[in-house]
Structure 1
Amino acid sequence: MKFRILFIALLITTFSFSQTKGTVAGILTDKDANNQSLPFANVLIKGTKIGTNTDIDGKYSLPVAPGDYTIMFSFVGYESVEVPVTVTANETTTISKALGSGSYKLEDVVVKSTVNRQKETALLLDQKNAVEIKQTIGVQELSRKGVSDVATAVTKTTGITKQEGSGNIFVRGLGDRYNSTTMNGLPIPSNDPEKKNLNLEIFNTDIVEYISIDKVYSGNIYGDFAGGNVDIISKDYKGSGFLKLEIGSKVNSNAIAEDNFKLQKGFNGFGFTNKSIPSNALTQYNYSSLQLKDYTPIATSFGISGGKSFDIGSEGKLSFFATASFNNDFSSKSNGSAKASVNGNGVANKNFADFSEMEYETNTTGMANIGYKINNNNKLSFNTLYINTSTQSKEEYYGYIVDIANDGNGLIRRFNYEKNSLWINQILGNHKIGDRSKLNWGLSYNIIDGNMPDRSQNIFRKEATGYQLSSISAPDNHRYFQKLKEDELAANASYDYKFNKDEAGDFLGKVTFGLNERIKSRGFQATQFNIKATAGNTNTIVDPTNLDLFYNQDNFNNGNFNIATFRGNAQVFNALDPQTYGGDQTIHAAFVNTEYKFKKLTAVLGLRGEQITQKVSWNTQLGAIGNDKLEKTAFLPSLVMKYELNDKQNLRLGLSKTYTLPQFKERAPFIYEEVLQVKVGNKDLYASDDYNFDLKWEMFPKSDELISVTAFGKYILNPMNEVTVSSSSNDISYINTGDYGYVAGAEAEYRKQLLNIDSDNAKKLSAGINASYLYSNQELNSAKVNNETDFQVDFTNTKGKFTGASNLLLNADLTLFNEWNNKNRNLTTTVAYTYFSDRVNAIGTSGKGDLVDKAFGSLDFITKSKLSEKFGLGLVVKNILDPVIKRVQENFNGDVNVLSYKKGMTFSLNLNYQF
């Protein structure tokens, strides 16, 4: 009885207390997105811990005791809004607001601050609501993981790795030829004559708003697609003015440990040294010095960025954003060994017990963005981006060289200097026409100069009295000059029309018509000057650190050495004609996509048609002048379906047909010689056709959490691979290796907030992990290759993996976030780990096994702190485990190590101040 009385008393008390409260409720909308609902925005009663987030429809509701308060609305990237409110008992006070990102005015609104819109929760929401299957990574996540370039950024997403020593990425085990790169949806060219895609390492994340990775094809993407498309979205500043300064420093443990970090002298430290073939190159010796210069291997960086927006009239807004930065980097590969021209028994023609490489890199980046929002229906923007990069390196190989240094007393030294400049210009337009139609268009013109202004190689044999220059073959000692110039004009246009409005006023259907145009032209030329000691001078002792004592005008006049190109010496009339190839490519495309929402099911059916013409011409040391034309008409259907299991779970399906084009360099019979391998083009290479399948389940438990599982498969007709062809030097070429190949695999991703120490999200521990398993198999058909090309191959195996395919990819990170002093100060600490398993570098022939890059993992530590409202500090330690990087040739009697080295750890310190 007493229990019942107590229970009733408590119930009455609770009921009476609840009746004394009032409710504040409303809807938040996005002013910059035509007042669509704004989910996951923050709602807080100022000065209390009473708060909530808006739901998927932008709605919120807060029970509050009667009284006068200030309610705060905020969303990352938008200006915070404070509104006074009086709460009355047993009544609901409705306050609905439209948040925007500009410096607008609202009654009873106080503008507080503007930060970057692209945080992880916002991008997860975009991923959740999108019909297409995609992944995005924004500046907040990039900063948290200590990522400074786009190549590393994309490897933090599921199923993507980067090739060691380059910015080339592999998507689901498929390499450069199967992927594409765009910026704001428009294609950008490559700075590497051997690659389809630009080296993504040259893009600093300072210019990035977010990066979108499409691994499922849809009709608005160019059809040369099988792995993925990386779309770099440049910063589009909105908000009040700011100016930010950054400085930083970096050291590599290997580089700083070198007793003498020496590189070739004669190059400035900012990466703008311009060199070219000297005048009278065959009749005089006036090449640049081969002496060495000491460097202090401590890298530096500095940058400045700023932006401001201005209101124009009642609806217009003009926004400016600009950034400029310079950074350099010193690195060293140490504890290395290398082998080349290894036969099926594991015997190498080159066997270097000691290999090392020192490298100095620079990156100068400048970008400006002007956006003009004419009104709520029309917007124009202009982007211009200039990037200049340089790499200066010294490679040294000590050991056995067949017929040159049979006693293991050989030395090969190669100096290399590369300078690349890229200029991207884009004009973009977005126009809303009534409530049903929208027109988007873009125009770009890109120019790239990819030059190797000076490469020198010398081969020595150490005798008791000192070093002698090799004179076995003319190319042993040479100077090499290379130029690449490419320009590209591209245009996109699409028109959306919505139809079939439901009772709630929402359109259920949308049809999109689009046109794409792409015109690309490339010119490439290279000249190698072979410098050979003459008879009677082959035993001359030289100083490898000061070859100017031998290579000089006096010794040339005295006939101690001669100079000739592959075409001949000064007596041959065309000796100075460079080895060249050129390419022209045009793609005319049109597409139509139809999207329709059937309650919980949304489907997009697309059809794209493309007419492709690719012309290649050449004039190289392999023979006569030649040319070839590849033409293809492609009809590319695609289907993407999204089924909303509930408000937190989606099931997605993607089906498509695409193709893969060979690149200019791959079809031009031009020889490019590296120290350890030689690559040669194949004029008979032709396009592949690809059939793609994806099935994905995803769940979003909270605004910053994700669980997803994906199954995928690809069937490829006439796949292309890098193959070791039958030759004395084990040349590598590009071959359609069989009639078919296929890839199947699964991906999983999990992002979880492990611990939330307080209700204000000021202290929290979160983790993320993504993994990808891949199985690849393809036919290797020697008879097909021998019939279709001028090469002779004898595949060691009749089946094999795709080049670049890793069975297992893994990324994991753990982040602790701590915020204090009214959110003016914070500390973010992240530990990140990346792993990939073995992957094929080149397919073996003639009894030789495949060249395989062995598995390794990388562990990074990142900590960033906001020490005050304006001052920030960051520390990054990369490659903590410092594993041995290995490449082996698989053989029947065991693996042969053909390359191994360690990169060392890198320590970076960064300071920034925002005015």
Structure 2
Amino acid sequence: PVAETQSHPSAPGIVQNNLFKIMEHLVKKICLLLVLAGMTTGALAQDGIVRGKVVDKATGEALMFANVIVLQTDPPLGTETDLDGQFELSLPAGTYDLQASYIGFPDQVLTGIVVVAGETTVVDFFMESQVQELNVVEVAAERVDRSEVALIALRKKAPGITDNLSAQEMARFGSANAAESMKRVTGASVQDGRYIVVRGLGDRYSSAQLNGMPLPSNDPYRNSTQLDLIPANLLDNLITSKTFTPDMPGNFTGGNVNLNTRSFPEEATFQAGVSLGYNTQSTLRNDFLTHQGGKWDWLGYDDGTRQLPEIFQDPEVVRQLTPSLYIRARSKEATAALLDQTSRALSSQMAPTTMTSLPDHSFNFSLGNQYKLFGNPLGVLAGASYKRSFRGYNDGVLAYEELTDPNSEELNTFYDLTEARGLDNPQLGAMAGLAYKFGGSQKISYIALYNHDAEKLSQTMSGAYPGIVSGGGVFESRALLFRARSLMTHQLAGEHVLGQSGIRLDWGLSTVQSSQDEPDFRQFANTYKVQPTGDTTYFISPAEYDLPYHFFRSL
């Protein structure tokens, strides 16, 4: 109790004394700062400000980063103009001479600039260019069209309406091929990841060129070239023309896409890249749909596993393979043997299996250099790329409903199916080129371009299909597809300037071999019903859908 009465009464006094000391200390600090501020203001008041602008007298354009110096100071005191061509100097009162200098203009000196303490003096420099005739100097260089700046200049000079994409821009957006790059073009869209549509017109109204020469389609049902075959890392630029000019083909209405391959280097270059991708829906899934294939499927090539068996290449055997063969086989032993032999020659797998999908991955490299051949420059360029991606899902829904009766309150279901699919997509591309310059104004170049793309698709569907399946039941369908597409291009071109006339002659020869191979596309459909007894009955209804089949196509 005694200790408590001694401690509590003294606490307020101690706090009050501490507050007084803190306030006294703060007041002293503030007074000191005010005195210093007054001294600084007095010192600054002794200086004056010189402010102005440096402009081009002929155009009125501000000259940024021009140098402005005071000639009377040692060492010289100066500054440079900002983005608006303006400058500012703080100088003691007096009279000065100022000098402005800028590349391409002679120096300009303004004398007798009076600076008054505490005031601002405005001084502007109007720079005049000076023409001086020199000996002719000719500089020759290859135009670089890989950058955005170069393509903007190219677009300004174009006689028609164009949209351009540079290699620099395609790399920044991570475009893997020319089709993905086309998504960046105003007014253009890409169907099925490969076919171009310009200004809303179908693919039949669009055309494609490679280095100014026609590029055909390898799809018999489409006029538009499948641009996903061409890797973006092998391109210099992509130019989409939406109006006609005399140097273009006359078979397009929507747009013409010109793909220009990489130009030849002026010095040794080497580039390489590796990438990995992860998709939450299809990467590292142990239920990813697939089917058995060959040992080269990962590269996009079939090793012969899916090729048409030799027995089906016999015209006599093919003649007997009619839809009624299985009926005739019931009564004829030779026909039954033929049916057994041809059936066993085909793959027995008609439904997908599962695997663990890998992460998406890609590799690419390019190299080039310039050498001397007979005293003239020879440019060499080569590059290759490989990419493999996995896409799939297990919970897709395919449904189609229509209103058959205007008075009905419900839609009529044509089909309502659950879909699962897995797509393994390897892509391979390579390019090699030579260019030889001679005579100062002549150039001959050769380019070989190869692209290969494969799709390994495995798919299942199940559900209600009242549009074709009668009597109820659950419809099931399975599909196994391997489609390989290839494009091989050879181009020989020349650029010539004829004598002193300045007339330019460009010519080109091109051959393109396009192919599409679909070996052993398989589809198996059936229906099943659960009986009241709990048993499940499986059956095939040929009158409502196709019998299981193998389909081979090569174009």
Q: Same fold (TM over 0.5)?
A: yes
Following the alignment from structure 1 to structure 2, what is the Cα–Cα distance between the partners of residues 312 and 216? Answer: 42
Aligned to 1:388: 452
8 A Cα contact 1:459 1:476, kept in partner: yes
Following the alignment from structure 1 to structure 2, what is the Cα–Cα distance between the partners of residues 217 and 122? Answer: 22
Q: For residue 269 of structure 1, give the secondary structure of its aligned residue in structure 2.
A: helix
Unaligned runs of 5+ in 2: 1-45, 55-66, 73-78, 84-101, 110-128, 313-320, 322-337, 406-410
Q: Within the alignment, does 1:151 sit opposite 2:179 as a pair? A: yes
8 A Cα contact 1:236 1:369, kept in partner: no
Alignment-mate amino acid for residue 367 of structure 1: M
Aligned to 2:27: none
- Please give the per-residue CA displacement for 1:409-454, whole angstroms capped at 9, x wherever unaligned: 2211111110111110111111111333111111111111111112
Alignment-mate amino acid for residue 547 of structure 2: D
Following the alignment from structure 1 to structure 2, what is the Cα–Cα distance between the partners of residues 400 and 272? Answer: 37
Aligned to 1:511: none
Closer, same or farther in 2 for the Cα pair 1:145/1:49, shift >3 Å?
farther
Aligned to 1:172: 199
> In the TM superposition, what are the counterparts of 1:366-765 in structure 2 within 5 Å?
366-402=430-466, 404=469, 407=472, 409-434=474-499, 435-464=501-530, 465=535, 468-473=538-543, 475-484=546-555
Closer, same or farther in 2 for the Cα pair 1:457/1:200, shift >3 Å?
same
Following the alignment from structure 1 to structure 2, what is the Cα–Cα distance between the partners of residues 154 and 251? Answer: 23
Q: Within the alignment, does 1:222 sit opposite 2:222 as a pair? A: no
Alignment-mate amino acid for residue 176 of structure 1: D
Q: 1:249 aligns with which of 267, 276, 294?
A: 276
Following the alignment from structure 2 to structure 1, what is the Cα–Cα distance between the partners of residues 403 and 482? Answer: 32
Alignment-mate amino acid for residue 309 of structure 2: P
Aligned to 1:625: none
Q: 1:280 aligns with which of 308, 311, 317?
A: 311
Cα offset, 1:406, TM superposition: 5.0
Aligned to 1:556: none
Aligned to 1:351: 416
Q: 2:188 aligns with which of 140, 160, 180?
A: 160
Following the alignment from structure 1 to structure 2, what is the Cα–Cα distance between the partners of residues 64 and 263? Answer: 75
Alignment-mate amino acid for residue 425 of structure 1: H
8 A Cα contact 1:460 1:467, kept in partner: no
Alignment-mate amino acid for residue 165 of structure 2: I
Larger helix percent: 2
Closer, same or farther in 2 for the Cα pair 1:420/1:378, shift >3 Å?
same
Alignment-mate amino acid for residue 270 of structure 1: L
Cα offset, 1:51, TM superposition: 12
- Please give the per-residue CA displacement for 1:379-415, whole angstroms capped at 9, x wherever unaligned: 1111111111110111222111235475452211111
Cα offset, 1:344, TM superposition: 4.7
Cα offset, 1:248, TM superposition: 1.8
Closer, same or farther in 2 for the Cα pair 1:437/1:413, shift >3 Å?
same
Closer, same or farther in 2 for the Cα pair 1:359/1:415, shift >3 Å?
same
Following the alignment from structure 2 to structure 1, what is the Cα–Cα distance between the partners of residues 381 and 151? Answer: 22
Cα offset, 1:253, TM superposition: 1.9
Following the alignment from structure 2 to structure 1, what is the Cα–Cα distance between the partners of residues 523 and 367? Answer: 45
Closer, same or farther in 2 for the Cα pair 1:322/1:472, shift >3 Å?
same
Alignment-mate amino acid for residue 225 of structure 1: F
- Please give the per-residue CA displacement for 1:530-559, whole angstroms capped at 9, x wherever unaligned: xxxxxxxxxxxxxxxxxxxxxxxxxxxxxx
8 A Cα contact 1:265 1:289, kept in partner: no
| TM-score of the aligned structures, taking structure 2 as reference length | 0.66
- Please give the per-residue CA displacement for 1:778-814, whole angstroms capped at 9, x wherever unaligned: xxxxxxxxxxxxxxxxxxxxxxxxxxxxxxxxxxxxx
Following the alignment from structure 1 to structure 2, what is the Cα–Cα distance between the partners of residues 406 and 253? Answer: 40
Aligned to 1:770: none
Aligned to 1:608: none
8 A Cα contact 1:336 1:356, kept in partner: yes
Q: For residue 204 of structure 2, give the secondary structure of its aligned residue in structure 1.
A: helix
Q: Within the alignment, does 1:309 sit opposite 2:309 as a pair? A: no
Q: For residue 246 of structure 2, give the secondary structure of its aligned residue in structure 1.
A: coil
Q: What is the aligned residue count? A: 407
Following the alignment from structure 1 to structure 2, what is the Cα–Cα distance between the partners of residues 252 and 408? Answer: 36
Closer, same or farther in 2 for the Cα pair 1:8/1:385, shift >3 Å?
same
8 A Cα contact 1:261 1:297, kept in partner: no
Unaligned runs of 5+ in 1: 1-5, 22-47, 53-58, 67-89, 103-114, 485-915
Q: Within the alignment, does 1:231 sit opposite 2:262 as a pair? A: no
Q: 2:165 aligns with which of 114, 126, 137?
A: 137
Closer, same or farther in 2 for the Cα pair 1:266/1:180, shift >3 Å?
same
Following the alignment from structure 1 to structure 2, what is the Cα–Cα distance between the partners of residues 410 and 479? Answer: 20
8 A Cα contact 1:364 1:387, kept in partner: yes
Larger strand percent: 1
Following the alignment from structure 1 to structure 2, what is the Cα–Cα distance between the partners of residues 456 and 180? Answer: 33
What is the RMSD of the two structures over their aligned residues, measured on CA atoms?
Answer: 3.7
Percent of aligned positions with the same letter in both sequences?
22
Deviates more, 1:469-478 or 1:147-156: 469-478
8 A Cα contact 2:370 2:378, kept in partner: yes
Cα offset, 1:478, TM superposition: 1.0
Q: For residue 464 of structure 2, give the secondary structure of its aligned residue in structure 1.
A: strand
Cα offset, 1:299, TM superposition: 2.2
Alignment-mate amino acid for residue 305 of structure 1: S
Cα offset, 1:375, TM superposition: 3.0
Closer, same or farther in 2 for the Cα pair 1:461/1:311, shift >3 Å?
same
